[in-house]
Each structure stands twice: as structure tokens, then as C-alpha cells.
Amino acid sequence: MKPWPYPRIIAHRGGGTLAPENTLAGLRKAKTLGFAGVEFDVMLAGDATPILMHDQTLDRTTSGSGPIAATAYRDMLTLDAGSWFSREHAGEPVPSFERAGRLCVELGLWADIEIKPVKGFEAETGKAAALAARELWRGAPVQPLLCSFQPAALAAAQQAAPELPRGALTRDIPPEWKQWLQKLGCVSLHCDYRMLLPQQARAVRDAGYWLLCYTVNDPEIVRVLFDWGVDAIITDRLDLIPPDFR
């Protein structure tokens, strides 16, 4: 098994708890703090534009409301995606995947890209995210990792851009995990650390796959997971778990 080639500490949704999630401000915050890797979510707006968004509605993280799938990106351009977090971030835009990807390349940030489809748009989102990532990171020294909870999204990404590495997201590790990863051509398995057992971690690594855990916010738990052989963790607590954490 090749050593994990990417950052071991990955900033969740950009800036973790220190910036509004899935924003350019979050990506910049991670870079400012010395992080080399970020995680964020990619979803399709109503006009099929890939954007950074976790929820299927605008309500929680923007000044707008309503379903993402029913809102064209042009109608999101006037929304505020930062005021919910702090006054300092008022006016932060909803970023397109294109803007976020270009910023990652510019800043030298490696990206763990979660394909987060609106229900019913799994294949369309997987294809769009993969094709966009291929273009955005063309010629970049390190390619991003595409991951998803949705097998249909990963299958579409595999067909659209087979050269980009993929990871399978799951809460707990199912008995058929190995067949699942083989079928989707994945290089990694990403799970909820609370559901992981040490023997499972060994099995994944022994089978030749990398293992990531989310969302780990306790430094002592990070140490335990690394002792188990986990390759990388995703964290909100950029203030407690620095990028060089060992």
C-alpha cells in the first residue's frame, strides 16, 4: 500500500468553525492557518451550475430561502452567505465550484470534494463535478479526491473522469465494503470515526485502501485514530488540531 500522499489534517467545509462553511472565505482561512487540505461540498443549482453548498435549501447558510434545485445560480449571486456566521463575513457570496476550484489551485490547497447531490440528481451531479474538477485542476501538481455517500454519483464521476481518484463515504463500514469500493474504482473509504473499530481500520488498510475519518474535533481521538492506521481526518476545530498535528 502506498503511503497517503495528501494532507493528514483536512479542514472541514473550508474553514471549520472559524469561517462560514463552503465559502471562499473559509478556503482562505484554512490557508492562512497553514492548512494544506480542505474539504467542501458540491451541489448543482437549479440551472445545473455546480456550487458549494451542503444543504438542499438556502435557508440555513444564506439570506435566501427555498430549494437549491429550484434556484438558478444567477439568483444566488445577490445572496449573503456569511452574515449567519458573523458580521465580519457579511456579504460573502455563494461560490460556484469554478471560483472555489480556481482559488484552491491558486492557493495550493489540496481538495477533498464531496459530491453532495440533491435527491434525484445523483448521476448528473457526479458527472458535472468530475468534469469540472478535471478542467479546474488540469496541469495542477496534485489532483483532488472526489467522494460521495451516493454510489450513483461516484459511478457517474468514474465514467466522466476515470483518471480522478475517488473515495466512498459511509457512516459505518458495511460488510460488503470491499466489493463496493472495487465496483466504483475507489482508492479510499471515508467513515464516521464514532462508528469505526480498530479491526475495521486494519482490514481497510490491509486491503490496500486509504482510510479517512470525519468529523474529528478532539486531539486525543485523532491520536488514537492515527495509532489505528487511519490515514487522515477531517476536522472543524482548526484552532485545536493544527495542520502539523501528530
Asked if 62 and 83 touch (Cβ cutoff 8 Å), the reply is no
- The answer to whether 89 is a known catalytic residue is no
Helices 97-107/24-32 angle, 10° precision: 10
Residues 235, 241: Cα–Cα separation, whole Å: 8
Which of 41, 85, 96, 62 shows the shortest CA–CA distance to 214? 41
Asked if 153 and 117 touch (Cβ cutoff 8 Å), the reply is yes
Catalytic one among 28, 49, 54, 226? 54
Beta strands in 48-201 (DSSP E): 50-52, 110-115, 145-148, 166-170, 188-192
Residues 154, 115: Cα–Cα separation, whole Å: 8
CB neighbour list of residue 59: distance below 8 Å, 6 or more residues apart = 65, 66
Catalytic one among 6, 8, 11, 12? 12
- The answer to whether 12 is a known catalytic residue is yes
Residues 116, 148: Cα–Cα separation, whole Å: 7
Active site amino acids: 12, 54
